[in-house]
Amino acid sequence: MTALSGKCLCGRVALSVRGEPIRVGICHCMDCRKESGSAFTFYGIWPAEQFEYSGEISDFQGRCFCSHCGSRVFSVDAREAEVKLGILSQAPTTLKPSYELWVKRREPWLRPVEGAAQYQEDRERTGDEEPSDTRY
């Protein structure tokens, strides 16, 4: 089983995930732009039981970050863990986005990820999924 690990900028929060992610994506929504301070966020989703972390975290609206350095590291609920892939110790990662969200907010100088599904806003839902957040 594959295992990946990473730490925040100061190293006080560590995390690991086991197995393959459920999905990997990029999001260009305003929330992701603001929380990352960049043009998008790059993340992977794993089942919650395949995710572990240690260290002191704080959270804002479910977004967990290191209480010391402020690095945004993950979100987790009873079902899934969303890990910000930029904190992984393995860089560059072999994980490739299979989709991009909120492409209507993508910077014009960024090209679409080849082979990735492109959504103007959120992914279309299958009906059995609950929305994880409100993005605009």
- Is the residue at 91 inside a domain? yes
Domain, as residue range, for 22? 3-118
Task: Please report, for the domain that includes residue 75, its CATH number.
Answer: 3.90.1590.10
Please tell me the predicted confidence (pLDDT) of residue 90.
87
- Is the residue at 129 inside a domain? no
Residues of the chain with pLDDT under 50: 126-136
Place of tokens 């402020």: 70
- Is the residue at 96 inside a domain? yes
- 126: Cβ–Cβ under 8 A, 6 or more apart, which residues? none
What is the sign of the dihedral through the CA atoms of 55, 61, 63 and 65? negative
Q: Which of 55, 63, 73 is nearest to 6 (CA)?
A: 73
For residue range 32-49, list pLDDT tens digits in order.
999 888 999 999 999 999
- Is the residue at 136 inside a domain? no
Dist. CA 65–CA 32, nearest whole Å: 14
- Is the residue at 134 inside a domain? no
- 57: Cβ–Cβ under 8 A, 6 or more apart, which residues? 13, 64, 65, 66, 67, 73
Please tell me the predicted confidence (pLDDT) of residue 134.
41
Please tell me the predicted confidence (pLDDT) of residue 125.
55
- Is the residue at 133 inside a domain? no
Q: What is the pTM of this model?
A: 0.85
Q: Which of 57, 89, 92 is nearest to 76 (CA)?
A: 57
Specify the number of domains making up the chain: 1
